[in-house]
């Protein structure tokens, strides 16, 4: 299968040095955009990952993926950049992140994953399992154990 075309809109305050997707910039199927306030991205026909949406499945195969990369606190600002009619989908199951969260000012959703974790699972569910996505992810082994225990 061909790699799932993936567009990432990153919040301008997101520090690339701490970003879990920072090692994927050279991949040909990946496009990175900076979510400045004037950016408008027509997401019609894209799968947009969202925690409160129907679960992603193989029925969604063949569609490009849109990932919003930010802290949960800044996510509404990135959502404002998205126009059109995206197809909202969630990561099914009871996955939790391996990334050690430390926010003292904002509560993250229980099912929220690090961007690289969400990308890996979404592509796996779309029939494009690519362990190389996690190659440089510090918590790779812990996260793969979580995915295996969840039966995905």
Please give the chain's pLDDT, 152 residues, in tens: 678 889 998 876 666 656 667 677 788 898 988 888 888 999 999 999 887 889 998 899 999 999 888 766 767 787 888 999 999 998 877 776 655 555 555 454 555 678 888 899 899 989 888 888 888 888 788 888 887 887 77
Q: Which two tokens stand for residue 150?
A: 């969840």
Number of domains in the chain: 1
Range of the domain at 57: 6-149
Give the integer Cα–Cα distance in Å for 53 and 86: 11
What 3-state DSSP class applies to 82?
A: strand
Whether residue 110 is contained in a domain is answered as: yes
Give the integer Cα–Cα distance in Å for 88 and 54: 7
Identify whether the C-beta of residue 122 lies closer than 8 Å to the C-beta of residue 49.
yes
Q: How many CB atoms lie within 10 A of CB 67?
A: 22
Whether residue 93 is contained in a domain is answered as: yes
Give CA torsion, residues 134, 137, 138, 139, to 10 deg. Answer: -50
State the pLDDT at residue 104: 52
Identify whether the C-beta of residue 89 lies closer than 8 Å to the C-beta of residue 55.
yes
Name the residue among 90, 95, 91 with its Cα closest to residue 145: 95
Whether residue 1 is contained in a domain is answered as: no
Whether residue 78 is contained in a domain is answered as: yes
State the pLDDT at residue 84: 96
What 3-state DSSP class applies to 51?
A: coil
Whether residue 44 is contained in a domain is answered as: yes
């Amino acid at each position: 299968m061909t790699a799932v075309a993936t567009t990432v809109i990153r919040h301008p305050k997101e520090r690339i040095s701490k970003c879990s997707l920072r090692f994927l910039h050279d991949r040909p199927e990946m496009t990175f955009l900076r979510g400045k306030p004037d950016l408008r991205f027509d997401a019609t026909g894209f799968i947009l990952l969202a925690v409160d949406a129907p679960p992603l499945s193989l029925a969604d195969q063949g569609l490009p993926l849109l990932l919003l990369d930010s802290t949960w606190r800044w996510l509404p600002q990135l959502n404002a950049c998205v126009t059109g009619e995206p197809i909202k989908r969630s990561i099914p199951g009871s996955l939790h992140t391996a990334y050690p969260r430390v926010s003292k000012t904002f509560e993250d959703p229980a099912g929220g994953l690090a961007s690289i974790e969400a990308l890996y699972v979404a592509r796996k569910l779309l029939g494009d399992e690519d362990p190389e996505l996690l190659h440089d992810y510090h918590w790779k082994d812990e996260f793969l154990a979580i995915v295996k225990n969840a039966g995905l």
